[in-house]
Amino acid sequence: MTTRLQQAFKYLRETGGKGVVPYITAGDPDLDTTYELLVALARGGATAIELGVPFSDPAADGPVIQRACERALAHGIKLNDVIATAGRAVKATGIPIVLFSYLNPLLRHGLENLAQDAADAGLAGVLVTDLPAESARGFSQALQQRGLDLVSLVAPTSTEPRIAQIAEHATGFLYAISVTGVTGARQQLSADASSLLQRIRRVTQLPVAVGFGISNAEQAREAWAQGADAVIVGSAIVRKIEEFGAQAPEQVERFVRELVAAQTAEA
């Protein structure tokens, strides 16, 4: 079975294109706007979208996404709300949506239940930030049985044997963290990104998306030039949502269009 994420990255490779994968936090500023944002990101040309489950202790995230989680949780957003909103957007656009979460909310829901509910809603996959590779097999199988992918993180400190272990149960694509630290827009792409991409390429054929710190077209072009199949852009988009609130969909659609267009523009 070819999954929707696999189809999306296969299309990029066949056409010589590069991908843009935006991240937003569900429920920020509210669920109706989250739906409009998902639709806007799809219109803007996103390859796929990561939809964050708000969590009270987002240890991997910087202040921008931490504040987004706080705003969403203050509205009482639950995992079921996130899945339902994602399902509406999938029906409206067909865009592959990856549920982005820390492990605890998913464990409370039940991993088998989560896999089934995500499949029923038409989601494309799940990324769990703090799921150890040693514990990923069962959840990966539960997702694959339902046509969904498990997207896994690879850190700049990961050795080739560790990357191979992570890739063993990952499907869809690998999320390559470009810098040691938390999420957040940065002035330039970390030098660690190139080295990490080289190590990944030596041990797996999975597509690779680079994230953590990419916030503009120049950084996206640099990541693509170093061999990334896609870039993941989170904090720069979440900051626009924080600034523009209910008017953010138009702003983020324009921003994603600019990133998509950057691959054919002169550097």
- Determine the distance from the C-alpha atom of residue 196 to the mean position of all C-alpha atoms in its chain, rounded to a whole number: 18
* φ, ψ for residue 232, nearest 5 deg: -110, 125
Strands (E), 116-265: 125-128, 149-154, 174-177, 208-211, 230-233
Cβ pair 4, 59 in contact under 8 A? no
Cβ pair 166, 201 in contact under 8 A? no
- Which of 30, 32, 57, 61 is catalytic? The answer is 61
Q: Please state, in angstroms and rounded to a whole number, the distance separating the CA atoms of residues 39 and 104.
A: 28
* Two structure tokens written together for 263: 């691959």
Q: Please state, in angstroms and rounded to a whole number, the distance separating the CA atoms of residues 264 and 43.
A: 18
Active site residue 36: no
Q: Please state, in angstroms and rounded to a whole number, the distance separating the CA atoms of residues 79 and 228.
A: 31
- Which of 28, 36, 50, 222 is catalytic? The answer is 50
Active site residue 250: no
In the three-class reduction of DSSP (H, G, I as helix; E, B as strand; rest coil), residue 171 is classed as coil
Q: Please state, in angstroms and rounded to a whole number, the distance separating the CA atoms of residues 265 and 261.
A: 6
CA 206 vs CA 170, 195, 211, 234, 263: distances in Å: 8, 17, 16, 22, 21
Q: Which residue in the block uniquely carries the two structure tokens 């949506």?
A: 97
Which residues are part of the catalytic machinery? 50, 61
